[in-house]
Protein backbone atom coordinates (compact mmCIF):
# COMPACT_ATOMS: atom_id res chain seq x y z
CA UNK A 1 0.00 0.00 0.00
CA UNK A 2 1.13 3.55 -0.76
CA UNK A 3 0.23 7.13 0.11
CA UNK A 4 -0.28 9.66 -2.69
CA UNK A 5 0.87 13.16 -1.76
CA UNK A 6 -0.31 15.82 -4.20
CA UNK A 7 1.90 18.90 -4.18
CA UNK A 8 4.48 16.86 -2.30
CA UNK A 9 7.44 18.68 -3.86
CA UNK A 10 6.28 21.97 -2.35
CA UNK A 11 7.01 23.57 1.00
CA UNK A 12 4.64 21.83 3.42
CA UNK A 13 4.21 18.79 1.19
CA UNK A 14 7.92 17.98 1.09
CA UNK A 15 8.20 18.13 4.89
CA UNK A 16 5.24 15.77 5.20
CA UNK A 17 6.81 13.41 2.67
CA UNK A 18 9.98 13.34 4.80
CA UNK A 19 7.94 12.50 7.91
CA UNK A 20 5.98 9.76 6.13
CA UNK A 21 9.06 8.16 4.59
CA UNK A 22 10.82 8.37 7.95
CA UNK A 23 8.04 6.20 9.35
CA UNK A 24 8.48 3.58 6.66
CA UNK A 25 5.67 4.64 4.32
CA UNK A 26 5.85 4.20 0.56
CA UNK A 27 5.07 7.62 -0.88
CA UNK A 28 4.11 8.67 -4.41
CA UNK A 29 4.34 12.42 -5.07
CA UNK A 30 2.25 14.07 -7.78
CA UNK A 31 3.40 17.64 -8.47
CA UNK A 32 3.44 19.88 -11.55
CA UNK A 33 6.56 21.63 -10.15
CA UNK A 34 5.03 25.06 -10.74
CA UNK A 35 6.09 26.02 -7.21
CA UNK A 36 7.70 22.78 -6.02
CA UNK A 37 11.20 21.39 -6.58
CA UNK A 38 12.10 17.87 -7.66
CA UNK A 39 15.15 17.82 -5.39
CA UNK A 40 12.93 18.39 -2.35
CA UNK A 41 11.80 14.74 -2.50
CA UNK A 42 14.72 13.17 -4.40
CA UNK A 43 15.71 9.89 -2.81
CA UNK A 44 12.71 9.95 -0.49
CA UNK A 45 9.69 9.34 -2.70
CA UNK A 46 8.72 8.45 -6.25
CA UNK A 47 7.94 11.72 -8.06
CA UNK A 48 5.44 11.91 -10.89
CA UNK A 49 5.33 15.27 -12.68
CA UNK A 50 1.73 15.95 -13.62
CA UNK A 51 -1.51 17.81 -12.94
CA UNK A 52 -3.63 16.91 -9.94
CA UNK A 53 -6.69 17.79 -12.04
CA UNK A 54 -5.93 15.00 -14.54
CA UNK A 55 -8.47 12.37 -13.47
CA UNK A 56 -7.06 9.65 -15.73
CA UNK A 57 -3.53 10.20 -14.42
CA UNK A 58 -4.62 10.14 -10.78
CA UNK A 59 -6.67 6.98 -11.29
CA UNK A 60 -3.74 5.32 -13.05
CA UNK A 61 -1.38 6.18 -10.19
CA UNK A 62 -3.83 4.88 -7.59
CA UNK A 63 -4.15 1.57 -9.46
CA UNK A 64 -0.46 1.14 -10.31
CA UNK A 65 0.81 1.86 -6.81
CA UNK A 66 -2.03 0.36 -4.74
CA UNK A 67 -2.72 3.74 -3.16
CA UNK A 68 -5.12 3.63 -0.23
CA UNK A 69 -4.76 7.19 1.08
CA UNK A 70 -4.23 10.66 -0.32
CA UNK A 71 -2.74 13.73 1.35
CA UNK A 72 -3.80 16.68 -0.81
CA UNK A 73 -1.60 19.80 -0.72
CA UNK A 74 -1.55 20.98 -4.34
CA UNK A 75 -3.03 24.50 -4.42
CA UNK A 76 -2.44 28.18 -5.04
CA UNK A 77 -1.98 30.04 -1.76
CA UNK A 78 -1.24 33.77 -2.18
CA UNK A 79 -4.14 35.87 -0.85
CA UNK A 80 -3.49 39.14 -2.77
CA UNK A 81 -2.94 37.17 -5.97
CA UNK A 82 -6.29 35.44 -5.45
CA UNK A 83 -7.98 38.84 -5.35
CA UNK A 84 -6.35 39.81 -8.66
CA UNK A 85 -6.86 36.43 -10.37
CA UNK A 86 -9.90 34.84 -8.71
CA UNK A 87 -10.78 32.47 -11.55
CA UNK A 88 -7.25 31.08 -11.53
CA UNK A 89 -7.72 30.24 -7.86
CA UNK A 90 -11.13 28.64 -8.35
CA UNK A 91 -9.64 26.50 -11.11
CA UNK A 92 -6.52 25.48 -9.20
CA UNK A 93 -8.04 25.08 -5.75
CA UNK A 94 -11.62 24.03 -6.38
CA UNK A 95 -12.10 22.59 -9.86
CA UNK A 96 -8.91 20.50 -9.80
CA UNK A 97 -9.58 19.40 -6.23
CA UNK A 98 -13.00 18.17 -7.33
CA UNK A 99 -11.27 16.14 -10.05
CA UNK A 100 -8.95 14.61 -7.47
CA UNK A 101 -11.90 13.67 -5.25
CA UNK A 102 -13.64 12.09 -8.22
CA UNK A 103 -10.59 10.00 -9.09
CA UNK A 104 -10.06 8.98 -5.46
CA UNK A 105 -13.63 7.82 -4.92
CA UNK A 106 -13.86 6.02 -8.27
CA UNK A 107 -10.64 4.17 -7.48
CA UNK A 108 -11.61 3.09 -3.97
CA UNK A 109 -9.42 5.37 -1.86
CA UNK A 110 -10.73 5.20 1.70
CA UNK A 111 -8.92 7.99 3.55
CA UNK A 112 -7.98 11.56 2.61
CA UNK A 113 -6.20 14.44 4.36
CA UNK A 114 -7.08 17.86 2.94
CA UNK A 115 -4.88 20.94 3.27
CA UNK A 116 -7.11 23.91 4.10
CA UNK A 117 -6.58 27.31 5.66
CA UNK A 118 -7.58 29.68 8.44
CA UNK A 119 -8.64 32.04 5.63
CA UNK A 120 -12.00 30.22 5.62
CA UNK A 121 -12.86 32.13 8.83
CA UNK A 122 -12.55 35.56 7.23
CA UNK A 123 -12.55 38.26 9.90
CA UNK A 124 -14.04 36.56 12.97
CA UNK A 125 -15.23 38.58 15.94
CA UNK A 126 -13.15 36.54 18.40
CA UNK A 127 -9.40 36.84 18.94
CA UNK A 128 -8.85 33.08 19.28
CA UNK A 129 -10.69 31.05 16.67
CA UNK A 130 -12.08 27.59 17.49
CA UNK A 131 -13.23 25.24 14.72
CA UNK A 132 -16.87 26.03 15.51
CA UNK A 133 -16.36 29.65 14.43
CA UNK A 134 -18.65 30.45 11.46
CA UNK A 135 -16.84 30.40 8.13
CA UNK A 136 -17.00 33.68 6.21
CA UNK A 137 -13.93 34.01 3.94
CA UNK A 138 -13.19 37.49 2.59
CA UNK A 139 -10.99 36.56 -0.36
CA UNK A 140 -11.10 34.09 -3.27
CA UNK A 141 -8.32 31.99 -1.73
CA UNK A 142 -10.37 31.32 1.39
CA UNK A 143 -13.57 30.79 -0.59
CA UNK A 144 -11.89 28.36 -2.98
CA UNK A 145 -10.67 26.28 -0.04
CA UNK A 146 -14.01 26.38 1.78
CA UNK A 147 -15.80 25.19 -1.35
CA UNK A 148 -13.44 22.21 -1.43
CA UNK A 149 -14.16 21.48 2.23
CA UNK A 150 -17.88 21.39 1.42
CA UNK A 151 -17.32 19.09 -1.55
CA UNK A 152 -15.25 16.72 0.54
CA UNK A 153 -17.84 16.55 3.33
CA UNK A 154 -20.66 15.90 0.85
CA UNK A 155 -18.65 13.26 -1.02
CA UNK A 156 -17.71 11.49 2.21
CA UNK A 157 -21.35 11.28 3.26
CA UNK A 158 -22.26 9.72 -0.10
CA UNK A 159 -19.32 7.32 -0.38
CA UNK A 160 -17.09 5.08 1.73
CA UNK A 161 -14.56 7.81 2.56
CA UNK A 162 -13.25 9.33 5.76
CA UNK A 163 -11.19 12.51 5.88
CA UNK A 164 -9.46 15.08 8.00
CA UNK A 165 -9.46 18.75 7.04
CA UNK A 166 -6.49 20.63 8.47
CA UNK A 167 -6.92 24.40 8.57
CA UNK A 168 -3.46 25.95 8.65
CA UNK A 169 -2.68 29.21 10.29
CA UNK A 170 0.72 30.73 9.30
CA UNK A 171 3.34 28.12 8.46
CA UNK A 172 7.02 29.00 8.82
CA UNK A 173 10.49 27.64 9.51
CA UNK A 174 12.31 24.74 7.88
CA UNK A 175 13.33 21.15 8.54
CA UNK A 176 15.67 21.19 11.59
CA UNK A 177 18.00 18.79 9.75
CA UNK A 178 18.22 21.10 6.74
CA UNK A 179 16.59 18.74 4.24
CA UNK A 180 13.82 21.06 3.07
CA UNK A 181 12.44 24.54 3.55
CA UNK A 182 10.52 27.35 1.85
CA UNK A 183 12.44 27.60 -1.42
CA UNK A 184 10.43 29.90 -3.69
CA UNK A 185 12.23 33.19 -4.24
CA UNK A 186 8.87 34.94 -4.72
CA UNK A 187 7.29 33.63 -1.53
CA UNK A 188 5.08 36.04 0.41
CA UNK A 189 5.27 34.42 3.87
CA UNK A 190 6.48 37.01 6.38
CA UNK A 191 9.21 34.99 8.08
CA UNK A 192 10.53 33.81 4.72
CA UNK A 193 10.62 37.35 3.32
CA UNK A 194 12.21 38.75 6.48
CA UNK A 195 14.83 35.97 6.41
CA UNK A 196 15.63 36.82 2.80
CA UNK A 197 16.06 40.47 3.81
CA UNK A 198 18.37 39.46 6.66
CA UNK A 199 20.38 37.30 4.25
CA UNK A 200 20.79 40.21 1.81
CA UNK A 201 18.63 38.57 -0.85
CA UNK A 202 16.12 41.43 -0.67
CA UNK A 203 16.79 45.13 -0.28
CA UNK A 204 14.41 45.21 2.67
CA UNK A 205 10.92 44.33 3.79
CA UNK A 206 7.51 45.97 3.47
CA UNK A 207 4.89 45.97 6.22
CA UNK A 208 1.43 46.19 4.73
CA UNK A 209 -0.89 48.07 7.06
CA UNK A 210 -0.12 49.79 10.35
CA UNK A 211 -3.66 50.90 11.23
CA UNK A 212 -5.26 47.59 12.17
CA UNK A 213 -7.12 47.37 15.53
CA UNK A 214 -4.16 45.64 17.23
CA UNK A 215 -1.69 46.76 19.89
CA UNK A 216 0.91 48.00 17.38
CA UNK A 217 -1.39 48.48 14.37
CA UNK A 218 -0.03 45.50 12.38
CA UNK A 219 -1.69 42.17 11.65
CA UNK A 220 -1.45 39.36 14.20
CA UNK A 221 -0.90 35.76 13.11
CA UNK A 222 -0.34 32.37 14.70
CA UNK A 223 2.94 30.92 13.36
CA UNK A 224 3.33 27.12 13.33
CA UNK A 225 6.62 25.38 12.55
CA UNK A 226 6.38 23.42 9.31
CA UNK A 227 7.80 20.26 10.90
CA UNK A 228 5.20 20.30 13.67
CA UNK A 229 2.57 20.73 10.96
CA UNK A 230 3.96 17.83 8.92
CA UNK A 231 3.80 15.61 12.01
CA UNK A 232 0.17 16.64 12.49
CA UNK A 233 -0.58 15.24 9.02
CA UNK A 234 1.01 11.93 9.94
CA UNK A 235 -0.95 11.82 13.20
CA UNK A 236 -4.18 12.58 11.31
CA UNK A 237 -3.50 9.73 8.91
CA UNK A 238 -2.77 7.31 11.75
CA UNK A 239 -6.02 8.31 13.44
CA UNK A 240 -8.06 7.59 10.31
CA UNK A 241 -6.34 4.23 9.89
CA UNK A 242 -7.33 3.36 13.44
CA UNK A 243 -10.99 3.94 12.57
CA UNK A 244 -11.32 7.62 13.43
CA UNK A 245 -14.26 9.50 11.96
CA UNK A 246 -14.05 12.53 9.69
CA UNK A 247 -13.29 15.84 11.35
CA UNK A 248 -11.88 19.34 10.85
CA UNK A 249 -8.97 20.69 12.88
CA UNK A 250 -7.13 23.97 13.26
CA UNK A 251 -3.35 23.78 12.94
CA UNK A 252 -1.67 26.40 15.09
CA UNK A 253 -0.24 26.97 18.54
CA UNK A 254 -2.85 29.33 19.94
CA UNK A 255 -0.35 32.19 20.26
CA UNK A 256 -0.32 35.30 18.08
CA UNK A 257 2.52 37.62 17.06
CA UNK A 258 2.19 40.92 15.23
CA UNK A 259 4.07 41.64 12.02
CA UNK A 260 6.30 44.09 13.87
CA UNK A 261 7.07 41.51 16.57
CA UNK A 262 8.08 38.96 13.94
CA UNK A 263 10.29 41.46 12.12
CA UNK A 264 12.03 42.34 15.37
CA UNK A 265 12.54 38.64 16.12
CA UNK A 266 14.20 38.08 12.74
CA UNK A 267 16.46 41.10 13.28
CA UNK A 268 17.38 39.90 16.76
CA UNK A 269 18.11 36.28 15.81
CA UNK A 270 19.99 37.21 12.62
CA UNK A 271 21.82 40.20 14.04
CA UNK A 272 20.93 42.17 10.89
CA UNK A 273 19.04 45.48 11.00
CA UNK A 274 17.55 45.39 7.48
CA UNK A 275 15.39 48.25 6.12
CA UNK A 276 11.63 48.15 6.71
CA UNK A 277 9.12 50.21 4.73
CA UNK A 278 5.61 50.92 6.05
CA UNK A 279 2.96 50.56 3.33
CA UNK A 280 -0.84 50.69 3.04
CA UNK A 281 -2.93 47.60 3.70
CA UNK A 282 -3.17 44.84 1.11
CA UNK A 283 -6.65 43.69 0.03
CA UNK A 284 -7.98 40.59 1.77
CA UNK A 285 -5.84 40.63 4.94
CA UNK A 286 -7.76 40.11 8.23
CA UNK A 287 -6.46 41.90 11.32
CA UNK A 288 -6.03 38.87 13.58
CA UNK A 289 -5.93 35.10 13.03
CA UNK A 290 -4.99 32.98 16.06
CA UNK A 291 -5.91 29.31 16.30
CA UNK A 292 -8.05 27.72 18.90
CA UNK A 293 -5.64 24.78 19.16
CA UNK A 294 -7.11 22.53 21.87
CA UNK A 295 -8.97 20.15 19.57
CA UNK A 296 -5.99 19.06 17.49
CA UNK A 297 -4.05 18.15 20.62
CA UNK A 298 -6.96 16.14 22.00
CA UNK A 299 -7.99 14.36 18.79
CA UNK A 300 -4.53 13.56 17.42
CA UNK A 301 -2.58 13.39 20.69
CA UNK A 302 -0.36 15.91 18.91
CA UNK A 303 2.30 17.66 20.96
CA UNK A 304 4.26 20.35 19.12
CA UNK A 305 8.02 20.14 19.59
CA UNK A 306 9.06 23.43 17.98
CA UNK A 307 6.63 25.94 19.47
CA UNK A 308 9.01 28.87 19.81
CA UNK A 309 9.23 31.94 17.56
CA UNK A 310 13.02 32.27 17.86
CA UNK A 311 13.46 28.60 16.91
CA UNK A 312 11.19 28.99 13.90
CA UNK A 313 13.12 32.07 12.80
CA UNK A 314 16.51 30.39 13.32
CA UNK A 315 15.51 27.41 11.18
CA UNK A 316 14.23 29.76 8.46
CA UNK A 317 17.53 31.67 8.50
CA UNK A 318 19.55 28.44 8.43
CA UNK A 319 17.57 27.32 5.39
CA UNK A 320 18.32 30.57 3.53
CA UNK A 321 22.03 29.82 3.95
CA UNK A 322 21.61 26.25 2.66
CA UNK A 323 19.47 27.46 -0.22
CA UNK A 324 22.08 30.05 -1.20
CA UNK A 325 24.74 27.33 -1.24
CA UNK A 326 22.53 25.09 -3.38
CA UNK A 327 21.80 27.90 -5.84
CA UNK A 328 25.53 28.68 -6.08
CA UNK A 329 26.33 25.03 -6.84
CA UNK A 330 23.54 24.87 -9.43
CA UNK A 331 25.06 27.84 -11.27
CA UNK A 332 28.59 26.39 -11.18
Residue-range domain boundaries for the chain = 2-172+223-251, 190-221+254-289+306-331
Predicted confidence at residue 123, as pLDDT, reads: 87
* CATH code reported for the domain at 190-221+254-289+306-331: 3.90.25.10
Choosing from 141, 163, 168, 212, the catalytic residue is 141
Q: Do the beta carbons of residue 232 and residue 305 sit within 8 Å?
A: no
pLDDT in tens, 2-18: 999 999 999 999 999 99
Mean of the per-residue pLDDT values of the chain: 95
Tell me: pLDDT of 331 over 80.
Answer: no
Whether the per-residue pLDDT at 241 is higher than 60: the answer is yes
pLDDT above 90 as % of the chain = 89
Burial (Cβ within 10 Å: 0-12, 13-18, ≥19) of residue 302: buried
Render pLDDT for 292-320 as a digit per residue (tens, 0 to 9). 999 999 999 999 999 999 999 999 999 99
- What pLDDT shows up at residue 327? 66
* 2-172+223-251 CATH, one of 3.40.50.720, 3.30.70.360, 3.40.50.280, 1.10.10.10: 3.40.50.720
What is the pLDDT averaged over residues 36-62? 96
The secondary structure element, H or E, covering residue 241 is: helix 226-241
In this predicted structure, the answer to whether residue 173 has a pLDDT above a threshold of 50 is yes
pLDDT at residue 43 in the model = 87
Q: Is the pLDDT at 286 greater than 90, yes or no?
A: no
How far apart (Å, rounded) are the C-alpha atoms in residues 269 and 195?
10
Residue 329 has pLDDT above 60, yes or no: no
Q: How far, CA to CA in Å, does 233 sit from each of 161, 249, 301, 321?
A: 17, 11, 12, 27
Instruction: Please confirm, yes or no, whether 141 is among the known catalytic residues.
Output: yes
Identical topology for domains 2-172+223-251 and 190-221+254-289+306-331: no
Query: What is the arithmetic mean of pLDDT over 166-179?
Result: 96
Average pLDDT over residues 192-207: 95
The region, left, alpha or beta by phi > 0 then psi within -120 to 50, assigned to residue 257 is beta
Answer whether residue 332 shows pLDDT above 50.
no
Phi/psi at 103 (5° precision): -65, -40
In the prediction, which pLDDT does 71 show? Answer: 98
Q: What is the pLDDT of residue 154?
A: 98
Q: For the beta carbon of residue 25, count every other beta carbon within 10 angstroms.
A: 17
Percent of the chain with pLDDT over 70: 98
Q: What tens digit of pLDDT does each residue of 85-117 get?
A: 999 999 999 999 999 999 999 999 999 999 999
Residue 239 has pLDDT above 80, yes or no: yes
Amino acid sequence: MSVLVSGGAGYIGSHTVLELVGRGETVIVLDDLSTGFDWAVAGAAHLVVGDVGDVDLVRRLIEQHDITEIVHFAAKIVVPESVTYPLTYYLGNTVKTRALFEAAIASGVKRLIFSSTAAVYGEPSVEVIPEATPTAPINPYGRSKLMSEWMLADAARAHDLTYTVLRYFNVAGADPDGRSGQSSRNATHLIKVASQAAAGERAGLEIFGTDYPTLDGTCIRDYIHVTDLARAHVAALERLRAGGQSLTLNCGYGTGYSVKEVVEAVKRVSGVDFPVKLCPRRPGDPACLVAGAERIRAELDWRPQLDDLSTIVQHALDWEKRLAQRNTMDKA
